[in-house]
Chain A
């Protein structure tokens, strides 16, 4: 099989090195991990800054103003400048206008839509299956009853206007059990997600271990292990000298 172009090869070696450097944290905090961490933060920041400029600010603001195609773009341009006024103490107060406009626009856009999509529709969907005779519902009858009981008991648990005594206490306790099931599910899914990411990295490391990529994984793994060993010895000597 033909070797990949040099630029791809460099990318593969850098990606393998960064993966191993970051995973080396599992052994203990070390200089290689710090290199990987700082590289990741720096490259991400640089990449996103460039993308935001060339994909948004340049075509939608600078060019529009420069060509005079949309003179109204002067308003967001001024607002953007005002946002940065926070860094100049005597003019910091002017940034409040930009924040006020931003908050107002986002709230106006979000609140009515959020209430409809995240409150009214799910509420109606919680009750609807119980009232549907034809069975035209995504949720069959008996899980729908469990969902309804879950909603009522969890809401009771978070209702503090009356003391949790007698039947209210039973309902609130049932609510805690529903919450525990929910947290357990979320935790299980989080573990699944994290393991999936590990599988992704391992898959890449195995793919780049062959001759096509000049044995990037075994060479860099051996290098990382050697550096960790040397650093470990150096660190223990330093600790011993201190003691």
Chain B
């Protein structure tokens, strides 16, 4: 038996993970209650306290490869901002993020039919140059983005006029800057070239893999909030649901469902690790016992 377990085909483990992932998605249930962490609360509280009409810059710096992790938090933040009647200027530093961002904005316009293009939201599109693009935005926004995605002059967009009548000319004029990123260019560049140079209020989200790297920025107050992976999206969705209930459509989205599946998978992976260690040490003991008996 022990020998068979030691030589177990790893494809059985893949199959178990596949079943453990698919079943909770087909038959959703609530296994764990998501606890909200301080970095998540940072972004939520900022958006929740910004006055209506404030202009937020939202940089969607990822492509479809990371959408499963980052899309739930993107949707949750945008839903929150639009529900609070804030205005959002969206951009991307990733060419692969263009179609994805357009799809997200399309979804937002369906969920919030009162939103007016170029007044309540605008899409500036993709800008090449990575960190240079951010550094240029610190200096002058309309020079960096002379046209929006539809070819309109950015300077003429009504969204770039604040409630007090002053124009948004550079990064520091935005009430809040949010970057959801899957790597370079992304949050690190926004901290170094954006927040560091302009002093703008910055929050963001990233894939789970990179979260430890960015937590130091949160601790050093270079960012006032940080969401990590699918769990970060689930935490934000819980805050939205707790505060606004059914007022916000789809407040409980893919993040909340995904985090339950994540828990099942994590339990299974931990069980596999423990089980394989037990098997390993049992085989060691057996070998030691048989060697002792031979002597």
Contacts and interface: CB of A to CB of B under 8 A. Distances in A.
A189 B248 CA distance: 30
Contacts of B196: 113, 116-117, 121
Contact of B212 (A121, A147, A182): A182
B28 to A, nearest CB: 11
Interface in A67-125: 109-110, 113-114, 116-118, 121-122, 124-125
B121 interface: no
Given A55-B126, A121-B222, A199-B68, A206 B262 contact: no
Interface stretch (A162-170, A172-180, A190-198): A190-198
Given A52-B128, A55-B125, A192-B266, A199 B21 contact: yes
Given A51-B98, A182-B212, A196 B22 contact: no
B125 A186 contact: no
B128 A193 contact: no
A117 B229 CA distance: 24
Contacts of A125: 216, 219-221
B68 A201 contact: yes
Contacts of A56: 128
Contact of A196 (B131, B197, B262): B262
Contacts of B131: 109-110
A200 B69 contact: yes
Interface stretch (B105-113, B203-211, B237-245): B203-211
B51 interface: no
Contacts of A121: 196, 220, 222
B274 interface: no
Contacts of A192: 208, 229-231, 262, 266
A40 to B, nearest CB: 10
B258 interface: yes
A236 interface: no
A138 B69 contact: no
B32 to A, nearest CB: 14
A198 B218 contact: no
Interface in B24-48: 25-26, 38
Contacts of B218: 138
A138 to B, nearest CB: 5
A243 interface: no
A109 B133 CA distance: 12
Nearest to A55: B126
B193 interface: yes
Nearest to A201: B68
Contact of B230 (A48, A60, A199, A202): A199
B281 interface: no
A52 B130 CA distance: 13
A47 B269 contact: no
Nearest to B213: A186
B1 to A, nearest CB: 26
A18 to B, nearest CB: 12
A10 to B, nearest CB: 16
Interface of B: 11, 14, 17-18, 21-22, 25-26, 38, 65-69, 95-96, 98, 125-126, 128, 131-132, 135, 147, 191-193, 195-197, 207-209, 211-212, 216-222, 228-231, 254, 258, 261-262, 265-266, 269
Which are the 10 A-B pairs with shortest beta-carbon distances?
Answer: A200-B68, A125-B220, A51-B95, A193-B208, A56-B128, A196-B230, A117-B196, A117-B192, A189-B208, A192-B208
Given A55-B98, A195-B262, A198-B21, 9 more contacts: A27-B11, A113-B193, A117-B222, A138-B220, A185-B212, A191-B266, A192-B266, A198-B17, A203-B68
